[in-house]
Structure 1
Amino acid sequence: MRNLIKIFYGKFPVVTDTRETGFVNAIIAAGITFQVTRACTKGEQIGCSCDKRKKKKQKKKGPPLPEGDWEWDGCGENIEFGIKKSKDFLDTRYKKRSDMKTLVKLHNYVAGRLAIKNHMRTECKCHGLSGSCTLKTCTRKMPPFREVGNRLKERFDGAAKVIAGNDGQSFMPEGETIKPPGKVDLVYSEESPLFCLPNSTLGSFGTQGRVCNDTSQGEEGCGILCCGRGFDTHYKEVQTSCNCTFIYCCEVKCKTCNINMRISTCL
């Protein structure tokens, strides 16, 4: 786990409170929670067990529902244990501190964990004669981590800038009209540096030579990614598999085709 942290923090210490730092802190907290919870469910984590809820049937007054009753069964994913270990690993060292950087960091840790906890899903299996679904057994599962990352990326796009509160132990949004950020929102206190040019101190390689999308208006588009310097478009011949056919049994044969690919790179 410590190696995971070093990947993000080891070479370029994160000492700022930018939007990017907030996202990294949130995704690390979520990643630790996810991995520990999954290891716990698989029996690979010492000192924990899966989430064994008491079996209980959900019944309603009146005639039975077409899908039948359902009950908890098997081993659900113990998200509470994963969250506890994530807190032990990340939060403990900051417990006695209340400076602005610590408050922002701890807030984003919580947001990362909630991106998993608030979106736990109930997965059920049907049981019954001849494929009927007279009984369903259900367990609680975490969402795929790609979904967690996408959700945090959306929070990154809408992150709120905050300033220290008057009590010295909290923060508030910068500007009177900004809605106070909730627990699931990402926050930051410093504006991001310019990443357009190489900066070894920040670990930024700049955007010169980066492949961009010349038809997109988003962050991946050449207009934004190239920082107004313009871009160059050229065509490159690449080989790709084509005209694939399935041969019984069990082989897929493809031909190799040459295609001209349009590539745009930042100047």
Structure 2
Amino acid sequence: METRSSGVPNLRALILLLVSVSPLGCGASWMWLGVTSNGTPELPTCSSLSLSGRQRELCRRKPFLLPSVRDGARLAVTECQNQFRLERWNCSTSEEPPVFGLELTSGTKETAFIYAVMAAGLVHAVTRSCSQGNMTECGCDARLRGGKGGGASSVESWHWGGCSDHILYGTWFSRRFMDNTVKNISTSHGSYTLSSMNQHNSEAGRQVIERTMSTDCRCHGVSGSCAVKTCWRTMAPFDRIGSYLKEEYEQSIQVLDRSRRKTKKKGQRGPVNKHRLIYLNKSPNYCLKDRQKGITGTRGRRCNRTSTGPDGCNLLCCGRGYNTHVVRNIQRCECKFVWCCYVHCRRCESMNDIHTCK
């Protein structure tokens, strides 16, 4: 079967991108755990990781959290790829280290999404590990346990119990591990630096975990009557977190760059809602390959000729046109069980048009 690349990003390349957008140079290097640990029985030690001094100290004091840090990295990478798989920027970049730099996503909407999903992934992974009883330092959130709900006018009677996800601990660790020491997120004029922008977006990502939590219940009673219910709070699946952040990405707000505030530069003046994603600079179009900026371009990406969305050939190929070739697929079909004892299938063939950007 003839195939072409569909533009699915290389995982290691994305991790290099995540490292490159860190304002501290190594502030996002924990994301390497998402790839360097794959297939290996043991995690690296804190001293072997490229961490900031503050991160290394936290890692040394709480080494039992390293598996959760790795899982958070994997969640963030996978969801970033999932949410942008059909777009011009699909969370990929070149594999050659010299082309990595801040130009690719520095201060853009893409930077905003990366920091938000990184922070959310870390909260989600650490909190899940707490709820599963994998760590002695944290567990379920018992603050609500034993209390009653439903209200006096409610027909149903229920009480808090079970194992509520302890997002306070996960949020605390994510904040301590990722954020730098910026005290004031913005000035009174609403201007930002790259560091304060990244910190704002990281916090917005963490808050999404709490905002998407749901209440799950289990019924108790004779013959399943559900006369009494036990309820607990649980985090949403991470793909829902990713969808929520993608919507925030689409509605992100450009703010003033403090380093350029003396020039005529567009951007919102004044405070921004803490739940909104913000960016400083407009994004490049990502159409053409630029080795210096780490942009891979869309040439060779598979597109949908009938789609009017971002994966449509007109938008994804940036008006350059597309190539069409036929792919021959052969697979088993119309399988039937034959007594006794094997499965008999036909050999079916189909021809499909594949479109790739010029």
> TM-score normalised to the size of structure 2?
0.63
**What's the CA shift for 1:199?**
2.0
Aligned match for 1:29, one of 112, 119, 136? 119
Percent same amino acid at aligned positions? 36
1:58 is aligned, of 149, 170, 179, to: 149
Q: Counterpart of 2:134? A: 44
Aligned position for 1:17 = 107
Q: 2:211 — aligned with what?
A: 118
1:54-203 mapped onto 2 (5 Å cutoff): 54-58=145-149, 60-61=151-152, 65=155, 68-91=156-179, 93-96=180-183, 100-164=193-257, 174=267, 181-203=272-294
CA distance in structure 2 between the partners assigned to 1:30 and 1:247 by the alignment? 51
2:316 corresponds to: 225
Whole-angstrom CA distance in 1 between matches of 2:226 and 2:333? 43
Aligned CA-pair RMSD: 3.2
Aligned to 1:204: 295
Range 189-198 or range 137-146, more displaced: 189-198
Structure (1 or 2) with the greater strand fraction: 1
Is the partner of 2:120 in helix, strand or coil?
helix
Distance (Å, rounded) in 2 between the aligned partners of 1:247 and 1:108:
59
For 1:141 and 1:246, the matched residues in 2 are separated by 43
Distance 1:5 1:173, change over 3 A: farther
Are residues 73 and 218 of structure 1, via their aligned partners in 2, closer, same or farther at CA, if it must alter by over 3 Å?
A: same
Unaligned runs of 5+ in 1: none
The separation in 2 between residues aligned to 1:222 and 1:107, in whole angstroms, is 35
Q: Against the structure 1 CA distance between its residues 59 and 147, is the aligned structure 2 distance closer, same or farther, given a 3 Å change threshold? A: closer
Please give the alpha-carbon distance, in whole angstroms, between the structure 1 residues aligned to 2:177 and 2:301.
Answer: 36
Q: In structure 2, what residue type is equivalent to 1:4?
A: M
Structure 1 residues 198 and 135: alpha-carbon distance in aligned structure 2, compared to 1, 3 A threshold: same
Whole-Å separation in 1 of the counterparts to 2:338 and 2:168: 49
More helix by share: 2
Q: Secondary structure at the match of 2:207?
A: helix
Does the CA-based 8 Å contact 1:160-1:173 persist in structure 2?
no
Distance in 2 between the 1:13 and 1:37 partners? 32
TM-score w.r.t. the length of structure 1 is 0.83
Which ranges in structure 2 are unaligned for 5 or more consecutive residues? 1-27, 35-76, 78-92, 186-191
Cα distance change on mapping 1:237 and 1:90 into 2, 3 Å = same
1:215 maps to: 306
